[in-house]
Chains A and B, each alone.
Chain A
Amino acid sequence: KQEVTQIPAALSVPEGENLVLNCSFTDSAIYNLQWFRQDPGKGLTSLLLIQSSQREQTSGRLNASLDKSSGRSTLYIAASQPGDSATYLCAVATDKLIFGTGTRLQVFP
């Protein structure tokens, strides 16, 4: 059974720091991996999707990498801002989308 784990569960950093959020999964047979952002009381916003054949994807200050063989993905946030404060979820697509429980990020001024 596919299991997705995100570490750390919570993170609090000062503005300007570069961050790495981690996601690990137990079964490497995936179609893709998706990173989402969720603001309190809101829905999920898709940030990046990495197909199983890709190694990384970039969007602005965000960079996500995928190492299928080791069952790991990282989301790198450069020069963090208070507006980046949210919960970040990763999800792997097999025949269904399996979610991790998220990393709650707080960036303070």
Chain B
Amino acid sequence: NAGVTQTPKFQVLKTGQSMTLQCAQDMNHNSMYWYRQDPGMGLRLIYYSASEGTTDKGEVPNGYNVSRLNKREFSLRLESAAPSQTSVYFCASSENWGSNEQFFGPGTRLTVL
């Protein structure tokens, strides 16, 4: 039981490049989330998927897209990376949306030059 896994762990991009961050959970959770963590800002919600087949914007969605590929997997895509997207990205999941305990992956440290 691996919990929430994320790939890659580290990534360096040049401005304008694109990439997809992958996330998978093996807890049969319905809801999944993408956060970014920046110094002094705490964690902020980018996008979430309350259930398979649905996605919604969080607090800071600009510059990102997501895909809920199936119940297990939720990917985050940067179409044209910008230095402002340098951050640590965390994926999380919970049994259901809103009231349940969230479990986090180990994070992806992204640097955009």
Q: Which residues of A contact B (CB under 8 A)?
A: 4, 31-32, 34, 36, 41-46, 49, 51, 89, 91, 93, 95-97, 99-102
A96 close to B45 (CB less than 8 A)? yes
Q: From DSSP, what is the main secondary structure of chain B's interface residues?
A: strand
Contact A102 B90 (CB under 8 A): no
Please tell me if the beta carbons of A31 and B42 are within 8 angstroms of each other in the complex: no
| A44-B43, A89-B43 given; 5 more Cβ-contact pairs under 8 Å | A31-B98, A42-B106, A42-B107, A46-B104, A49-B101
| B61 at interface by CB-CB < 8 Å | no
B residues adjacent to A (C-beta < 8 A): 4, 33, 40-45, 48, 58-59, 90, 92, 98-99, 101-107, 109
A-B CB pair tally, cutoff 8 Å? 51
Contacts of A44 in B (CB 8 A): 43, 90, 92, 104
Which label, helix, strand, loop or mixed, suits the secondary structure of the A interface? strand
**Chain A residues near B105 (CB, 8 Å)?**
43
Name the residue of chain A whose CB is nearest to the CB of B44: A99
Bound CA span A102–B41, Å: 10
- Interchain CB contact under 8 A, B106 and A43: yes
Chain B proximity of A106: nearest CB distance (Å):
17
A49: B residues at CB distance < 8 A: 101
Question: Given known contacts A43-B90, A44-B104, is B99 in contact with A31 (CB within 8 Å)?
Answer: yes
Considering the complex, give the chain B residue whose CB is closest to the CB of A42: B106
B101 touches A34 (CB 8 A): yes
Most buried by B among A43, A51, A102: A43
